[in-house]
Structure 1
Amino acid sequence: AGPLLGVCPPPEPPPSSHLSLPLLVLWHEDFFVLCHGMLQLAQLLVSGYLKGSITTIEKRYGFSSQKSGLLAAFNEVGNTVLIVFVSFFGSRVHRPRCIGIGAMIASVGVFLIALPHFISNEYITDSNNNTKDNSSGLCKSPNISKQTCDQEKTDSHLGVYPILLLGQLLLGIGGVPIQPFGISYIDDYAEKRNSPFYLGILFAVTVIGPAFGYMMSSVLLRFYVDIDKMSSSYLNLKNDDPRWVGAWWLGFLMAATLLLLTSLPYLFFPRKMSREPKSETKEEVSLTEFLKSFPKIVMRTLRNPIYLLVVLAQVNLAAMVAGLATFMGKFIERQFAQTASFSNMMMGGLNIPSAMLGIMAGGVILRKLGLTVRSSAAMCMVAVFVSIMFAIPLLFIGCPTNKVSGINYNVSSQQCSNACSCSDEAFNPVCGSDGVEFLSPCHAGCKTVIPDKEKGLNYMNCECVASTGSPGSAFPGPCGNKCSNRLIPFMILSSITCFVASLSHTTSFMMILRTVTPEDKSFALGIQFMLFRVLGKQKKLIMQNRHGTELVNKTKTRISKHDKYNFRQ
């Protein structure tokens, strides 16, 4: 344990001329950058995949938006608690080995996130619960029968949520050493001219990872959630049906395996590279003396005005990015009436690659021009200001809200379906011939259903659908909107905004590394990432979800006592 904690000084690395070819590879910063890029890709692929599948997990287990927001942010809890303490030992521990062990812990956490699928029963809808009887969910009098969802007890998911939280907690704990130790290790042993370029590559990978996660979710959510438990021949659903639930768990299994494999090379990297670090070698001190210096190092770091201002600026940017990255797909899905898989594809194919190109371009500019701290600050300020100018028009691009009976339209007059015994938890949206959306055929007062080749089903004799003469009709699915053409300018403008804002990413990190003492690099980065999580990501995600939850509660009090739609029928 002594050498691992850094109490005893490790042996000096032998000259490169005495190393075998495999060791020469392991003792070169280029190979470390490659491995670290692969590890960050695997780690952040999980982040992107979770954000892309969060609405599907909500639907599968009936979570509220506030619960899903807490779940998305919970990996930051373990990360926040430990990152400053772990980063404090950055110059005294075997950094590559700590990174590898942390990645293994994160891999276990991701496996736990996928576990609820294997301990849960099949997901039941009226499509696979009763394939021969299409009358499920229609308006029926109380003395005839109740809805199918009232006849069957839904599974209790009380035990699922803690498992998901535990997986997220382990994912956050395992990710603690990855970025601070990796960045400081590269900056210590890479040539000063190459350091910005290497870090630009790694920061670009931090964007590629979520992009791959979004693209993976776009593909895997097209498979049904119980693809391993039931044959698709028993399923009478398409992936654009509002009752569809995709195979959210499959991507977590793949990501956990990749994370485990990419952690293995770190167990064989040396504590120090063959090239001497740029800073002078400091005399080793005892662990007790080092711990006593903790308050001094904290104050020295926080009293650095450049460091503090740059970190606060990054925190504000991180708060915005955290909310957008998590719920942009959901926004596209709801605002522009797109499927979850298509929304994730747009995020992973346009916005995130634009941010990646911006990060790489910022690193190249920094390397080519050799910017000083002052000129780097000017570049960051210009990039952020221009990105804000591009973002302002996004506030005015959107679609009108659909009319949903009982929520934002005709809230007080629903007598037409009072005699139908409709479940408040039913969610099988149908669109009436009058353009008004209903939560289910029962809420629309529909009494009969006939097969339809184009729409699948056609609900008839709907008492709540406005029509002249005979009762109206309805067809499955939401009414949608006719402004999907606005999605293209929205995505183009948001991609440009991402590109310009990302130009400041590498530059701001290099400002931090160049304005703190060499021995404080890991610790300074640790404080930075902690502030990201405390002041940026966690607070923003939970606030956004609470705000969304309050809006739903205000408009949906009549329909449900809980802040959720129950997607099981």
Structure 2
Amino acid sequence: MSDPETEIKMSSKPASKSQAEPVQKRLCSNLFLSVKFFVLCHSLLQLAQLMISGYLKSSISTIEKRFGLSSQTSGLLAAFNEVGNTTLIVFVSYFGSRVHRPRLIGLGAVLVAVAGLLMSLPHFIAEPYHYDHVDLDLSQDSASSLCMLPQAPALALVSAAVPTPSNSSCALYTEVRQVVVVGLMFLAQTLLGVGAVPIQPFGISYIDDFAHPNNSPLYLGILFAVTLVGPGLAYGLGGLMLRFYVDIDRMPEGGISLTPKDPRWVGAWWLGFLVSAGAVTLTALPYFFFPREMPKEKQELGFQKQILPSLDDKGESSLMKQGTDNSPEKEKDGESQIAPDLTMIQFIKTFPQVLLQNLRHPIFLLVVLAQVNMTSMVAGMATFLPKFLERQFSVTASFANLLIGSISIPAAMLGIMIGGVLVHRLHLGPTRCATVSILGSLICMVFGLPLFFMGCPTHPIANVYGPSSLLENEDFLNCTQLCSCSKSNFNPVCDTWSRTEYVTPCQAGCTGMQGDPGPGQGPIIYTNCSCLISGVRGSSVTSGSCESPCSHLLLSFILLISLGAAVASITHTPSFMLILRGVKNEDKSLAVGIQFMLMRVLAWMPSPVIHGIAIDTACVFWADTCGMRSLCRYYDHTVLRHRFIGLQFFYKLGTLVCFTLVFIILRQQEKEAACSGSQHGSVSQEEKLILSSEKRSGESIV
């Protein structure tokens, strides 16, 4: 017999390296065979993917200033990622589980990361930002825009030293910065849309295939809750990065004299894309280790029944059971399930027929149109609300993003959760879901009405905007002609005494300045200003635009916007349930896919462009770049507010009208089902509606 002490010593010896490696491999393999770990990875990936796609919206006004874009062009840029997404999203329904879904998700995420890197590339290939002017040949300093009177010999020498850009330099400037740089961003947005195609659909189907049927709703709820944080993080990241100067990596000698409140300030918009691309890359790595198929989860979570108690036949659980209880044989009978038996060409030919079949259902069509209107409102607000706040209330781009990311986005998330709780706890049927949607749309419109009046008109801008005396003052025009002011310069100054703004110190007739205070030392004071419309000769003006007198309304405005977003978001879950209950059971998955496709084509793609066009029509002064119109320097604030808020109000009204029509149709179907139900005995509300619709068209409508 062996010595017990010897056996204890032998057993306490650490395992050899060859023994430890199989254990580690088994642990890793078990980890990648867990659907819970996949839910964690996919939540983080979708969060990072939404952060990189939402970051552009947080920095849209900064990119406009940096590259001289109109709001129409920037709106088209924001919507361009939907082009690649919409083109390929249909094929996701075809491929289904035929492909290695985790690996395809990983490849899509890598493509999203590459798109993020491409979005930041224009910063590195473009010339450094010239904030005093748009001519590349001019020196960048505060004295370059002073008035150079003929009787001042010393200043005349400085003026003679300032070259005028030639046509060739203008052509080169236009080609490099407007075509190549902007083309790169459009290409990046297209790749971003293509890369995002497999992420959400394949991830949701993978979770639903291998999770326990009772655990799947909880996993998907966790997934959606985590990914909702993505847009909020995007605006928060934008608020942080735009505090840094755009050329922080190639700062000019002596620094810059700008502050974030200066209208010429451009933040480091490109940094956020690098951070987001890095986050997407890290979250994409685990997907290359998940198997094509994993063992089906067999155990229900112990706390599942406490978190998601079972509902009666009118609640969501019955709907989920209805979807999960369908046998594979029944599912294959529906047209939405014939894809696995078709070739690619046959699928493309069949898809339009299935699309038209679903669009024939009045409930489905009206609910989708309501969601298109609501999504159009959200798309326009998400893209241009930061710019709107900057112009209306004289706030910095970073502060506007922080307000949206910390107040408006959480309010919308809260509204979505409240809508889900209402459907879950109150056991809302189709008619009550329509009622909740109508009330949410109506209250959202009520919150939007005061926004038309919360703002101030544009302050007077000499020779640009204001009373006729500002535009036709002969003394002022003659004075500025003597100064030989350049039309390409933009260095706004404010006469605080009369609250009149001048495009440059030259237009104010300023010939001196109280020294360049340097970086972070406050505004520059320009002196000896002889062209002031106020008539006070020799006065001084302060660098920067005149402050808005309506800054105190900013908090009230953002609170009303957030309350409206919260109430509108309550309609999300009820309207989604109307779609699920508005088509045949076997058509539900395809109906949801059609819903998202129509929302992309009819809302996310055109809405930013439409909002951008509406914003451009309020412009009163365009920057002139080598004889070409580039970005807007000044807006008519009243027109801007009325058109931007008016467009939002139009979409809210469209949502209310669609939900009202849905309610009217449902009430009519209830009456018909009641008459039919008296002949078929006592049945549930949903069954009455189905019987009524089958009697009329032979197809389930509700």
TM-score range, shorter chain: 0.7 to 0.9
Q: State the structure with more CA Rg.
A: 2
Shift of 1:159: 1.1
User: Is the alpha carbon distance of 1:459 and 1:447 closer, same or farther for their aligned partners in structure 2, counting shifts above 3 Å?
Assistant: same
The residue aligned with 1:427 is 490
User: Is the alpha carbon distance of 1:228 and 1:452 closer, same or farther for their aligned partners in structure 2, counting shifts above 3 Å?
Assistant: closer
2:108–2:194 CA contact under 8 A, matched in 1: yes
User: Is the alpha carbon distance of 1:138 and 1:390 closer, same or farther for their aligned partners in structure 2, counting shifts above 3 Å?
Assistant: same
The residue aligned with 1:119 is 125
2:85–2:194 CA contact under 8 A, matched in 1: yes
The residue aligned with 2:301 is none
Q: 2:147 aligns with which of 139, 142, 146?
A: 139
Percent identity for Structure 1 against Structure 2: 47
CA distance in 1, matches of 2:579, 2:30: 31
User: Is the alpha carbon distance of 1:67 and 1:295 closer, same or farther for their aligned partners in structure 2, counting shifts above 3 Å?
Assistant: closer
Confirm or deny that 1:439 pairs with 2:503.
yes
1:149-298, aligned counterparts within 5 Å?
Answer: 150=164, 155=173, 156-157=176-177, 158-186=179-207, 198-230=219-251, 233-267=254-288, 268-271=290-293, 274-275=296-297, 278-282=325-329, 285-287=341-343, 290=347, 293-298=350-355
Deviations 1:419-451 (A, max 9, x none): 222222221111014210111111222222123
Shift of 1:41: 1.0
Higher mean displacement: 150-159 or 332-341: 150-159
CA distance in 1, matches of 2:285, 2:261: 40
Shift of 1:322: 0.6
Q: Report the AA paired with residue 534 of structure 1.
A: V
User: Is the alpha carbon distance of 1:336 and 1:506 closer, same or farther for their aligned partners in structure 2, counting shifts above 3 Å?
Assistant: same
Confirm or deny that 1:100 pairs with 2:106.
yes
Higher mean displacement: 380-389 or 293-302: 293-302
Deviations 1:403-433 (A, max 9, x none): 1222212234433312222222221111014
Aligned length: 547
2:68–2:630 CA contact under 8 A, matched in 1: no
2:493–2:544 CA contact under 8 A, matched in 1: yes
The residue aligned with 1:475 is 542
1:196–1:363 CA contact under 8 A, matched in 2: no
CA distance in 2, matches of 1:134, 1:261: 44
Shift of 1:344: 0.7
User: Is the alpha carbon distance of 1:375 and 1:33 closer, same or farther for their aligned partners in structure 2, counting shifts above 3 Å?
Assistant: farther
Confirm or deny that 1:326 pairs with 2:383.
yes
2:488–2:623 CA contact under 8 A, matched in 1: no
- Taking only aligned residues, the RMSD between alpha carbons, in angstroms, comes to 3.3
Q: 2:569 aligns with which of 495, 499, 502?
A: 502
In structure 1, stretches of 5+ residues that fail to align are 1-18
1:84–1:523 CA contact under 8 A, matched in 2: no
Shift of 1:264: 2.9
CA distance in 1, matches of 2:55, 2:348: 39
2:236–2:401 CA contact under 8 A, matched in 1: yes
Q: Report the AA paired with residue 117 of structure 1.
A: H
CA distance in 2, matches of 1:484, 1:149: 40
Q: Report the AA paired with residue 337 of structure 1.
A: S
Shift of 1:52: 1.3
Deviations 1:464-512 (A, max 9, x none): 3134552332110011122211111111121111111111223333443
In structure 2, stretches of 5+ residues that fail to align are 1-24, 151-155, 299-323, 333-339, 635-702
CA distance in 2, matches of 1:105, 1:351: 30
CA distance in 1, matches of 2:363, 2:31: 37
Deviations 1:26-60 (A, max 9, x none): 45554443333212211111233211111111111
The residue aligned with 1:38 is 44
Confirm or deny that 1:526 pairs with 2:593.
yes
1:203–1:506 CA contact under 8 A, matched in 2: no
The residue aligned with 1:5 is none
TM-score by length of 2: 0.71
User: Is the alpha carbon distance of 1:232 and 1:519 closer, same or farther for their aligned partners in structure 2, counting shifts above 3 Å?
Assistant: farther
The residue aligned with 2:554 is 487
The residue aligned with 1:10 is none
Deviations 1:88-145 (A, max 9, x none): 43354444443332222222111110111121232234599868x6422111258652
User: Is the alpha carbon distance of 1:30 and 1:333 closer, same or farther for their aligned partners in structure 2, counting shifts above 3 Å?
Assistant: same
CA distance in 2, matches of 1:426, 1:367: 60
The residue aligned with 2:420 is 363
TM-score by length of 1: 0.86
CA distance in 2, matches of 1:508, 1:189: 28
Q: Report the AA paired with residue 274 of structure 1.
A: K
CA distance in 2, matches of 1:493, 1:120: 40
Shift of 1:354: 0.7
